[in-house]
Amino acid sequence: MNPKKIFSDSISIPLALKWVGIMGSTWAVLIILGAALAYLPAHLDFSPFTTYLSDIGDTGGWPQIIFNSGTLIAVPIRYLFLVLLALSLRRLGAGKGFMIAVLVIGFLSTSGTALMTAVGFSQAPILHKTGIGLYFLGVVFLQATIFFKEWSMKSIPRALPLMSLLMVILFLIFVTLIFLYESGVVSRATPVIWEWLAVLASIVWMLAQGLVLGRGKIKSD
């Protein structure tokens, strides 16, 4: 049975993409704000220049509960968004191979999110770092794939693929700095702001893709 036909016969793919994008990006902002506010009273030195998001998720009590449970809930929402995005671009002329690539790479990336969230750094550093690698490198390959496809589709506004390219750059910088930190080349604080910028870019990317492609006014090439 063709999943594309099921979606198109039962619901509007662009409309579903729009609302899942709004829901996913809003949920991400609420998680980060809620966890940061819970973390702040006991950590007055909190700063996006020195505090990793994983530091919040590895802090016992409400910061950990809000951040980790909220992030785990966000995993299926994000993957659903990727499914709808792949279907939307398929309707606009993207090939079947592109859709499969997005779904496979997206699954690996979201699995990395679940792994690094479910297993804190203090509990199992190797597993946590494995999750980080799957998530961040997965995002790099995923966004590169989406960038090249959207850039090749003349009907897609240039801003959308450029936002994917921005994510590739930010995530690559962060991953590179993490490797340099592990090698003792840079300080622990050096990669921190790049993690925040990468996550912020991913939230804006989801919202922008959902709002623009969700209008359903773009015609296939």
CA dist 95 to 25, 81, 86, 87, 88, Å?
27, 18, 10, 10, 11
Q: What's the DSSP call for residue 219?
A: P
Look over the chain and give the mean of its residue pLDDT values, rounded to a whole number: 90
Q: What are the percentages of helix, strand and coil residues in the chain, rounded to 5?
A: 75, 0, 25
- Per-residue pLDDT of 48-63, as tens digits, reads 999 999 889 888 899 9
Residue 220 in domain: no
Residue 93 in domain: yes
Residue 27 in domain: yes
pLDDT of residue 134: 87
Checking if the pLDDT of 6 tops 70, the result is: no
Residue 72 in domain: yes
Closest among 160, 20, 143 to 80, alpha carbons compared:
20
CA distance 98 to 103: 9
Number of domains in the chain: 1
How much is the average pLDDT of 161-184? 94
CA distance 80 to 74: 10
Residue 100 in domain: yes
Q: What's the DSSP call for residue 47?
A: -
pTM: 0.89
**Counting Cβ atoms within 10 Å, is residue 22 exposed (0-12), middle (13-18) or buried (19+)?**
middle
How much is the average pLDDT of 30-46? 95
Residue 35 in domain: yes
Number of neighbours of residue 161 by Cβ within 10 angstroms? 19
Residue 221 in domain: no
pLDDT of residue 119: 73
Q: What's the DSSP call for residue 24?
A: H
CA distance 24 to 18: 10
Q: Are 12 and 217 in contact (CB under 8 A)?
A: no
**Which residues constitute the domain of residue 197?**
11-213
Confidence of residue 133 (pLDDT cuts 50, 70, 90): confident
pLDDT of residue 7: 47
- Classify residue 61 as left (phi > 0), alpha (psi -120 to 50) or beta: left
Residue 4 in domain: no
pLDDT of residue 128: 74
